[in-house]
């Protein structure tokens, strides 16, 4: 079984590219982030023609997550209990954003997650990010407590670089989001809850990134960040046979600014 996560940065702009990659890479289940479309706008037809079912949640030009699978989509769930919300107007009621969706595919519980960016250490969005991660961690801990042998994959764009080697120049991120101590602590809290970064042992750094900004020639200059991960439960981690980051998919016209992270599991 081959699973992957990919921040596609607009599925309507890259549906054909995503389907071609699925067929070429023989990925069974793909978690997508930043689909940037409402449910009715998701281009399901090319995926279905290629043999993939689609589960998606989105509400417009921002956020949006999906799971596409050729192994079925069981028990689809949008969001998680206690998921914090956000509204740009601090006086308006906060509502959960389309940042989390789950489905059971081939016996594995797949979560596609788009962790809030945080924007700036002084921004309300930063507190929202930390609260969102804490709520997800509490839920994930509960899932494992209920079934210690469950195969769970928390896959997505985490918007955190856990180690200094995960950014091309740590000094440029001092006092900024993505590498701050509270964010890294929130990430490592998942390890304390029993989840493991299952790709890193097979894709060691430094310099192995998953994201490169479109500006300032970041990609050809190899100035990237490692912020996309698959965190696996103990049972899933034991099933991992290999992993890779498909840097080639960041190349060419119309590429997303992220590369797919691929994980191979025992059947």
Active site residues: 114, 157, 258
Backbone angles phi, psi at 3, to 5 degrees: -120, 160
CB-facing half-sphere around the CA of 239: CA atoms within 13 A:
22
Binding site annotation covers 59? no
Nearest partner of 179 among 191, 189, 167, judged by Cα: 167
Binding site annotation covers 34? yes
Binding site annotation covers 157? yes
Q: How many other CB atoms sit within 10 Å of the CB of residue 255?
A: 17
Q: How many other CB atoms sit within 10 Å of the CB of residue 232?
A: 26
Strands annotated E in the chain: 2-7, 29-33, 53-57, 65-69, 74-78, 100-105, 108-114, 152-157, 196-197, 228-232, 240-245, 261-265
CB-facing half-sphere around the CA of 87: CA atoms within 13 A:
7
The DSSP result for 191-243, as a single string, is: HHTT-EESSGGGS--SS--SB--SGGGTTTTT--B--EEEEE-HHHHHHEEEE
CA 184 – CA 186 distance, rounded (Å): 5
β-sheet bridge partners, residue 244: 262
Q: Which residues are annotated as a binding site for Mg(2+)?
A: 7, 34, 157, 159, 257-258
Q: Which residues are annotated as a binding site?
A: 7, 34, 157, 159, 257-258
């Amino acid at each position: 079984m081959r699973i992957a996560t990919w921040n596609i940065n607009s599925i309507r702009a890259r549906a054909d590219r995503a389907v071609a990659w699925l067929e070429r890479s023989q990925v069974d289940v793909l978690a997508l982030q930043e689909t940037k479309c409402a449910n009715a706008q998701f281009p399901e037809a090319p995926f279905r023609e290629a043999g993939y079912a689609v589960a998606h949640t989105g509400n417009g030009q921002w956020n949006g997550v999906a799971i596409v699978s050729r192994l079925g989509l069981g028990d689809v769930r949008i969001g998680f209990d206690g998921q914090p919300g956000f509204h740009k107007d601090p006086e308006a009621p906060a509502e959960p954003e389309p940042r989390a969706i789950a489905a059971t595919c081939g016996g594995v519980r797949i979560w596609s997650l788009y962790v809030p960016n945080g924007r700036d250490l002084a921004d309300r969005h930063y507190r929202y990010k930390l609260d969102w991660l804490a709520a997800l961690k509490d839920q994930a801990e509960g899932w494992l407590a209920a079934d210690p042998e469950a195969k769970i994959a928390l896959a997505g764009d985490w918007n955190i670089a856990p180690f200094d080697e995960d950014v091309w120049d740590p000094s440029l991120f001092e006092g900024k989001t993505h590498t701050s101590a509270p964010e890294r602590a929130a990430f490592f809290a998942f390890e304390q809850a029993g989840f493991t970064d299952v790709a890193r042992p097979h894709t060691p750094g430094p310099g192995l990134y998953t994201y490169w900004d479109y500006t300032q020639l970041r990609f050809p200059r190899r100035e990237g960040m490692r912020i996309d991960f698959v965190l696996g439960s103990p049972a899933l981690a034991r099933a991992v046979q290999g992993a890779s980051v498909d840097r080639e998919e960041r190349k060419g016209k119309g590429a997303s600014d992220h590369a797919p992270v691929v994980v191979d599991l025992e059947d």
